Amino acid sequence: MVVELINTGSELMLGRVLNSHQQWLCRQLADRGYVVSRQVAVADSAPEIAQAVREALSRADLVIATGGLGPTSDDLTRDAIAGLLGKKLYEDAAVIAHIRNLFAQRRRPMLESMRVQALVPEGALVLGNSHGTAPGLAVEIRPNPFRNADRPAWLIMLPGPTRELRPLFAESVVPLLQRVFPLENTFVCRTLRTIGMGESMVEEKIAKPLGSILSRGVQIGYCAAPGRVDIRLSAAGTNADQLIAEGEGIIRTLLGNAVFSVGDEELEAVVIRLLTERKQTLAVAESCTGGYVAHRLTNVSGASAVLRAGWVTYSNEAKQQSLGVQTATLAQYGAVSEPVAREMAEGARRIGQTDFAIATTGIAGPTGGTPEKPVGTVFIALASSQGTQAWKFFNAWDRTTFKEVTTQQALNQLRLLLG
């Protein structure tokens, strides 16, 4: 079965926004066994959209297109696809009622421009949008004039806003796919996330020992990101589960605690999980990471039971006043130093009355470096009932990557201690 994805939007082609639909839909589809083989993005242009859909229908059994169903003048997908398929559009009474109802709930008048969202190509299924105005649309193309008349295809159109697309996919598209494309073959994909080694080193350690499962049809992929390397194993067929489990076992044996999670669990989620299991608490004292450690931790539902307090102490005064860092320590060693990192962690643990405290201090750049402490210099400290440990790192990246890598290192030290 061939699956293709089309994302429409001039903002994509002009590079104004990230294409998060691409990742999310590919992930949702792959997890259910429908692996996307090609993704295409085009501008809000009716001819470009029609051409992309025509080409996808010449190859695929299932085509999913996102965007261009809204009420503004650059929403062209509905018309482009109706034109391509030679189908008329009619105004669907149930959709109009739904839109009216939404506006009534919000106690606002319904703008006349909203009506266009109720236009449906003849014969299409309407996929109700519980979080917005424009419904999804699904059309069975039978016969399929673009490929092979005997192989029908499905074309599914989804609205662009993320908070509408995601529930609509889960509520309406997944049941439709399971009905019209029941899968005979299991597909298993598992990602092991590692930290502490480069991509080549990871491969050097595991590729040969994995030879036997790779020769039995398992695919392997490596992906390096700031502060981590992901190893991805995937396989199809009845023994896919067993092969992947075997591969995971080999990797875990060889890489040990460099593997920090499986199945895309984020490092912050691992830390919150371990602390929750142990009923222990955490405080964070951040200088150079500027709140990013706390932000990552509080992205995890349940963080409130674990993260008792956090400080963003960019200035020396804040380090002294909020965390009790000594004036003499700042004067003697400077704010970016191991002794200050230690005092920050110890102060956070003492004042927050927590089991653990993490502290970061460093030079994110682009300015502020010196010959002795160049941009990228970082000290991380971790205070616990067993005392305080500290590490020096050199993360000479751009500001964004610096924060990403430094938070990753800080969370990892705590993970290793909790191990």
Q: Which of 1, 23, 175, 257 binds a second copy (CB under 8 A)?
A: 23
Contact 155, 87 (CB under 8 A): no
| Part of the chain binding a second copy (CB under 8 A), chosen from 178-186, 271-279, 292-300, 384-392 | 292-300
Query: Which tokens sit at 229?
Result: 């390397």
The string of DSSP codes covering 287-341 is STTTTHHHHHHHTSTTGGGTEEEEEE--SHHHHHHHH---HHHHHHH-SSSHHHH
Segment interacting with a second copy, rule: CB under 8 A, options 91-99, 172-180, 230-238, 271-279:
230-238
Q: What tokens appear for 270 in the block?
A: 């691992």
Q: What are phi and psi of 367, to 5 degrees?
A: -105, 175
Print the binding letters for residues 112-151 with a second copy: x by CB under 8 A, - otherwise.
-xx-------------------------------------
Residues 344-403 that bind a second copy (CB under 8 A): 351-353, 364-368, 397-401, 403
Our CB check for a second copy shows the closer of 124 and 303 to be 303
Q: Does 48 bind a second copy (CB under 8 A)?
A: yes
Among 152, 291, 334, 369, binds a second copy (CB under 8 A): 291
Q: Which two tokens stand for residue 320?
A: 């002294």
Binding mask 300-329 toward a second copy (x if CB under 8 A, else -) reads: -x-xx--xxxxxxxxx-xx--xx-------
At residue 190, φ and ψ (nearest 5 deg) are -135, 135
Pairing of strands 187-194, 36-42: unpaired
Please report how close the Cβ of residue 180 comes to a second copy at its closest, in angstroms.
21
Q: Binding to a second copy by residue 280, rule CB under 8 A?
A: no
From 8, 33, 44, 50, residue interacting with a second copy (rule: CB under 8 A): 44
- In the complex, the smallest distance separating the C-beta of residue 41 from a second copy, rounded to whole angstroms, is 4
63, 146 in Cβ contact below 8 A? no
Select the residue interacting with a second copy from 46, 54, 71, 413 (CB under 8 A).
71
Q: What is the largest CA-CA distance in the chain?
A: 82
Among 8, 34, 39, 357, binds a second copy (CB under 8 A): 39
Whole-Å CA distances, 269 to 94, 174, 222, 272, 370 = 42, 27, 22, 5, 36
Query: Does 295 help bind a second copy (rule: CB under 8 A)?
Result: yes
Q: How far is the CB of 123 from a second copy (least distance, A)?
A: 28
The answer to whether 384 and 241 have CB atoms below 8 angstroms apart is no
Read off the tokens for 117. 């969202």
Task: State which of residues 79, 92, 171, 230 lies at the interface with a second copy (CB under 8 A).
Answer: 230
Separation between Cα atoms, residue 236 and residue 238, nearest integer Å: 7
Q: Could you identify the residue written with the tokens 């939007």?
A: 9
Do residues 132 and 41 lie in contact, with contact meaning Cβ atoms separated by under 8 Å?
Answer: no
Interface segment toward a second copy; rule CB under 8 A; list 226-234, 250-258, 325-333, 375-383: 226-234
Find the binding residues for a second copy in span 161-200 (CB under 8 A): 161-163, 189, 191, 199-200
Q: Which of 43, 51, 7 is nearest to 25 (CA)?
A: 7
Q: Can you tell me which of 220, 254, 262, 416 binds a second copy, judged by CB under 8 A?
A: 220
Q: Which is nearer to a second copy, 6 or 124 (CB)?
A: 6
Residues 82-111 that bind a second copy (CB under 8 A): 111
* The one-letter amino acid at 15: G
How many chain residues bind a second copy (CB under 8 A)? 106
Listing from the earlier edge strand, what are the strands of the sheet with 187-194?
A: 219-225, 228-236, 187-194, 259-262
Whether 3 contacts 37, CB under 8 Å: yes
Query: Could you say which of 1, 149, 170, 225 contacts a second copy (CB under 8 A)?
Result: 225
Nearest to a second copy of 42, 60 (CB atom): 42
Closest to a second copy by CB, 143 or 302: 302
